[in-house]
Amino acid sequence: MPYTLEIKGLSKNFGDICAVQNLSLKAKQGEVIALLGPNGAGKSTLMNMISGYLVPSAGEIKVLGKNIRNYPIESKQNIGFLSEGAPLYPDLSVARFLDYMAELRGFSGFVRDDKVKKAAELAKIENVMSQKIETLSKGYLRRVGFAQSILSNPPILLLDEPTDGLDPNQKVHIREMIEKMGKDKTILISTHLLEEAESVCNRIILINKGQIVADGTLAQVLAQNRTKSLEKVFHKLTSMQEEV
Ligand code: ADP
Ligand code: MG
C-alpha cells in the first residue's frame, strides 16, 4: 500500500528556536497516529507545515505521493485540519459557516448541501445547525470545527489537540468520531494526553524538542523501553526538557 503522507528532513526555525528539527516519517491509510509530546515539542508547528499553513525552513512533505510545494491546492484538498483553537466565525449560524467552508473548498449547489449534511451527521451537530456559533458550548464548538475538517472527506486528517479543554463526555464523543473514520484515512492527532494516545491511536510517535524520540505501536514503544507504562516512557524521553 502506498504512503499517504511522506515527510523527509523537515525543519522549522523561528529565529533562534528550532521548533521542528530534521524530522522524517511515513504514514499509511488506516493509521491513527498519536503525535504525543509535551508543550512546546513542535506538534502544532509540524501540523501547520503539513497543512500548508506554514512554510518549512528545510525538507519536504508529500501528500499522496505529490510534493505539497508543487501541488499546494491539490494537497490542501486532500487534508482536513482542525487547528488548535480553530477560528470560527462567531456571527454566523453553524449551517451558514459550514456552507461557506464548503464553498471555499469549491463545492456548490446540491453537492455542497450533501457535503455539509454528511459532515454534520458525523459530527452530531444537526440539532444546532441554526444556532449562532457564538452561542455554542465548548464541546459543540469543537464538533463544528471537526465537521469543517471532514467536509471534503479528505484521506488525511490533522487534529491538533482535538479534545483539549473538553469534559469527559465530550472527549468520548470526539474519540468515537475519530474511531469511526480511522479505517479509511490517515489521522494524525496531536496530544499531550497519554490516555488519548493509548485509547484511540494504533501508532504512537513521541516527539520532543522537534524530534521523534519513539515511533511504533503502543506495544512496540513499551517493549523498546522495557516497561509497561507509557507514562514512564513519556517521562524518560521528554524529561530532559526541564533540565536546561
Ligand atoms: P506544541 O504544539 O508541541 O506545544 P509548538 O509547535 O506550538 O509546540 O511550538 C514549538 C516551539 O516553537 C515552541 O518553543 C514555541 O514557543 C515555538 N513557536 C511556535 N510558533 C512560533 C512562532 N510563530 N514564533 C516563534 N516561536 C514559535
Ligand atoms: Mg500545540
Residue bearing the CA closest to ligand 1, atom 16: 40
Where exactly are the structural domains of the chain?
3-78+154-242
Pick the CATH number of 3-78+154-242 from 1.20.1050.10, 3.40.30.10, 3.40.50.300, 3.30.2030.30: 3.40.50.300
Judge whether 143 and 173 are in contact, CB under 8 Å.
yes
Q: Is the CB of 38 under 6 A from ligand 1?
A: no
- Find out whether the beta carbon of 37 lies less than 6 Å from any atom of ligand 1: yes
Q: Is 45 in the pocket of ligand 1 (CB under 6 A)?
A: yes
**Distance (Å) from CA 85 to ligand 2 centroid:** 10
Is residue 111 lining ligand 1, measured as CB closer than 6 Å? no
The response to whether residue 43 sits with its C-beta less than 6 Å from ligand 1 reads yes
Q: Distances from the Cα of 116 to the Cαs of 4, 53, 101, 199, 226, in angstroms?
A: 25, 24, 9, 29, 47
8 A C-beta contact, residue 50 and residue 79: yes
Residue-level pLDDT at 244: 46
pLDDT averaged over 10-residue windows placed end to end, the chain, 244 residues: 95 97 97 95 97 96 97 91 81 96 92 96 94 92 92 94 88 88 91 91 96 96 92 88 48
CB atoms within 10 A of CB 90: 12
Distance 43 CA to ligand 2 centre (A): 5
89 lines ligand 1 (CB under 6 A): no
Q: What is the pLDDT of residue 88?
A: 78
DSSP 8-state symbol, 84: T
**The pLDDT of residue 77:** 86
- pLDDT at residue number 87: 67
41 Cβ below 6 A of ligand 1: yes
- Mutation pick for ligand 1 pocket among 21, 45, 189 (CB with most ligand atoms within 8 Å): 45
C-alpha of residue 155 to centroid of ligand 2, in Å:
22
Residue 218 has φ and ψ, to the nearest 5°, of -55, -45
- pTM for the full predicted model: 0.93
> What is the predicted pLDDT for the residue at 86?
65
